[in-house]
Structure 1
Amino acid sequence: MNFHYIRNTRTIAMAALLAGAVSACTPESSDKELGPLPTASFTAEPLAGNPNKIVVTSTTPGGFMFEYTDDNNNKATREKDTLSYFQAGEYTIQFTVFTSGGFAKAVKKVTIAQNAKTQDILKGGDMGTDSQQFWTVLNTGGTQTAIRIENGAMHFENTGDSNGAIYQKVSVKAGKSYIFSAKVTGNGASNSWFEIYIDTAVPKQGSDYGGNKYISLNTWAGCGAVKFTGDLAVIGCDGTGKNKNGVMSFTKTGDVYIVVKAGSAGGTLGTGGIVMDDVKFLEEI
């Protein structure tokens, strides 16, 4: 008992000593005042030679932190930065700047006159008769979801608990913008997932696939449980690409894998399963 008492007393004394040291190192109060509240301002101009890129530049004096966001879920954080747009239309850019006096916001509208020039770097996305050669079925272990390309579409079906995937490798370039899209239809699944992964991890036969789940239908998250049809990048309710309309970019040049994984746990993918076609992975030119 005495041993425990002495050890605990020493611990308390040490804590008090450290507290005193921290207190002694606390800087003394200063009479320096905060700066005036800022008035946010910025410019938004098309990039020379590419009207689908908008160069945003802070013109706010004294700014040290910047954020540009828009209604297409683009985001930029440098004092002078660039926002990319694939589709023609009007977009609202909101700018937030921080200075020594606080933060302020400003808004501008920009008009994109035409769709961006792109190329589809995915092969066999039209699900034609020769599409199978570009896709590799992935055995994820356990009961496999049935996956086949037939009649111009990719079909995913099961009658109970299952999992399975199919994938394709593509090469991406740092700094370029990409957009994923795929038409999906179904009659309503239960306790199921239909996921798109876009990641550098190499798929391995016999192992489940994880990594960056970009967009998915997920009945637990609130989508895919009732009859649906549309662009997965838009109607998906789970993943890092949620509400980004399929737009993404990469910080490194190299290979990534587009993995489509579907399955159920305590349910099924629904009558007729889930059908996917017109899959595209567009790269800006």
Structure 2
Amino acid sequence: MNFQYIKHTRTIAMAALLAGAVSGCTPESSDKGLGPLPTASFTADPLAGNPNKIVVKNTTPGGFLFEWIDDAGHKSKRETDTLSFFQAGKYKIQFTVFTSGGYAKTAKEITIAQNAETQDILQGGNMEAGSEQFWTVLNTGGTQTGIKIENGKMVFSNTGNSNGAIYQKVSVKAGKSYVFSGHVQGNGATNSWFEVYIDAAVPKQGSDYSGNKFISLNTWSGCGAVAFNDDLAKIGCDGTGKDKNGIMTFSKAGDIYIVIKAGSSGGTLGTGGITLDDVKFLEEK
């Protein structure tokens, strides 16, 4: 199924560029007009040997800027890219291309027949008895958020201003696709955060952790203030992984840290705190 939308880019930005060109060029060179209106086109084919990877390639003549967005949360600016789909289903790939004549949009619907082969490289994510041996509590300085594993869940709680984290180190490979997921539940927090950082920076006891905040609940950003019970990767409203369904890749191989941090400033994490369960960090095979 194809969807097509085309529009001239007589934008302010282009007008400014043209104005600059006219002011700095001879009369002959200023007579150049825009190119023909483009028609966006691209191919989307399964990668040989891996039907869960789709290779998308621009086929629009004269394209110089590109944007890919799909239902699985991928976003790309490359002319040719490979998109990974972990779950079977139908997905729409939307494509925008810019040429000297304007910009055009089109889309295609693809079908992924089966779930991708993955392995969970995180340990103790099921929060069952003994899971605590795989996690390290991080003292972030000041009043600490209560963090414990009990009754098959990791529980974050406080009665006022606090901050605290827990983390685990994993090794990743360059170019592989990974997906983070974790089930969070709470009765609604006030002036609070519940954040997942995925970064190469090593946590240090007594210091707060910062870096690549991948996904989070944040009451100031509009999520976590009312009761919730879902996958954090889907309901999180802040972080670099927002709207990406937990999917990421790494440009370099090495150790990274999955740091889960929660706290409040002028509020609490809510009655019963926030619980986390079934945490996974899947690596494609």
**TM-score by structure 2 length?**
0.88
The share of aligned pairs that are identical, in percent, is 75
**1:188 alignment counterpart:** 188
Q: Partners in 1 of 2:94 and 2:275 — Cα distance? A: 38
Q: Partners in 2 of 1:226 and 1:33 — Cα distance? A: 55
Q: Partners in 2 of 1:58 and 1:188 — Cα distance? A: 45
What is the CA distance between 1:59 and its match in structure 2? 1.7
Gaps of 5+ in 1: 1-21
What amino acid maps onto 1:26 in structure 2? Answer: G
Q: Partners in 1 of 2:79 and 2:169 — Cα distance? A: 35
Give the count of matched residue pairs. 263
Q: Partners in 1 of 2:163 and 2:129 — Cα distance? A: 25
Q: Does 1:156 align with 2:142?
A: no
**TM-score by structure 1 length?**
0.88
Q: Does 1:211 align with 2:211?
A: yes
**2:74 alignment counterpart:** 74
SS of match in other structure, 2:234: helix
Deviating above 4 A after TM superposition, structure 1's stretches of 4 or more consecutive aligned residues are none
**1:142 alignment counterpart:** 142
What amino acid maps onto 1:96 in structure 2? Answer: T
**1:224 alignment counterpart:** 224
What amino acid maps onto 1:28 in structure 2? Answer: T
Q: Deviations 1:82-108 (Å, cap 9, x if unpaired)?
A: 111111111111112222222212211
**2:6 alignment counterpart:** none
Q: Partners in 2 of 1:198 and 1:70 — Cα distance? A: 23
SS of match in other structure, 1:28: coil
Q: Deviations 1:211-246 (Å, cap 9, x if unpaired)?
A: 111111111112111221111111111111111111
Q: How does 1:55-94 map to 2 (within 5 A)?
A: 55-94=55-94
Verify the 8 A CA contact 1:66 1:78 in the aligned structure 2.
Answer: yes
What is the CA distance between 1:66 and its match in structure 2? 2.1
Tell me how large the CA RMSD over aligned residues is: 1.7
What amino acid maps onto 2:24 in structure 1? Answer: T
**2:233 alignment counterpart:** 233
Q: Partners in 2 of 1:126 and 1:86 — Cα distance? A: 20
What is the CA distance between 1:43 and its match in structure 2? 1.0
What is the CA distance between 1:53 and its match in structure 2? 0.6
SS of match in other structure, 2:132: helix
Q: Partners in 2 of 1:132 and 1:251 — Cα distance? A: 30
What is the CA distance between 1:80 and its match in structure 2? 2.2
Q: Which has the larger radius of gyration?
A: 1
Q: How does 1:79-118 map to 2 (within 5 A)?
A: 79-118=79-118
What amino acid maps onto 2:40 in structure 1? Answer: A
Verify the 8 A CA contact 1:75 1:83 in the aligned structure 2.
Answer: no
**2:25 alignment counterpart:** 27
What amino acid maps onto 1:107 in structure 2? Answer: A
